[in-house]
Amino acid sequence: MKDTKKTRYEIGALAVLLLVLALVARYALRSQTSEVAGVYADNSQFHPLNVPDPSLRLDLLARMQNEKFNGQDRNIFSAAPLPPSPAQIEAQRAAQQAPPPLPAGPPPLTVPANFYGIVTDLATGHKRACFSANADDVYIVPEGGTLMNQFRVVKIGNNSVELQELSTGRTTTLVLANAPGMPVNPQQAQN
């Protein structure tokens, strides 16, 4: 008899457990479906658009259909470059027909020293030009001599000196800046 009582208790306990399991499963399913199926209407920031006449505007649609695209057609799925526009073709033709610009000459020759005087030896009559690169450097160069290892003194005039750049052979004329009555243009200087 003990075995039958024991089995009855086991069967009762098993029935109670199955009932609890069914209730838990039902509650779990109900909570999942209620979250998904529910509608949230608590959005207080929602404001509907104020549309006085919600009908379709056929006049605007017809106007948009009549407009034509004036740009170049292009396949958006192709990486090929666009063909040139008529304006670009005309610009290329004009560039090909125009003569090439004349090359600019070399920049003017600049001497990094100031010409400030001429020294004449009374006994021999030889002239020497005086130059100053800065307050400390003074150069006294005779005709045919070199100034700063870059320029040769070609000719010393009364108020001017003609220099030739050794590397290029270009020449320039420097005029005494503070001589009274001297022309500003080096071409007008007396040699």
The per-residue pLDDT for range 116-148, each reduced to its tens digit, is: 899 998 899 899 999 988 878 889 999 999 999
DSSP label at residue 10: H
Whether 32 shows a pLDDT value over 80: the answer reads no
Q: How far is CA 22 from the centre of its chain?
A: 73
Exposed, middle or buried, 154 (CB in 10 Å: 0-12/13-18/19+)? Answer: middle
In tens, the pLDDT along 136-190 reads 888 999 999 999 999 999 999 989 999 999 999 999 999 986 655 545 544 444 4
pLDDT of 41 reads 61
Letter for the amino acid at 65? Q
Q: With beta carbons less than 8 A apart as the criterion, state whether 106 and 112 touch.
A: no
- β partners of residue 151: 147, 165
Distance CA 165, CA 132 (A): 17
pLDDT of 18 reads 92
pLDDT of 62 reads 92
Q: Of 169, 168, 178, 166, nearest to 132 (Cα)? A: 178
Mean pLDDT, rounded, of the chain: 82
List, in sequence order, the alpha helices (H) in 76-160. 86-97
Pairing of strands 138-142, 114-120: unpaired
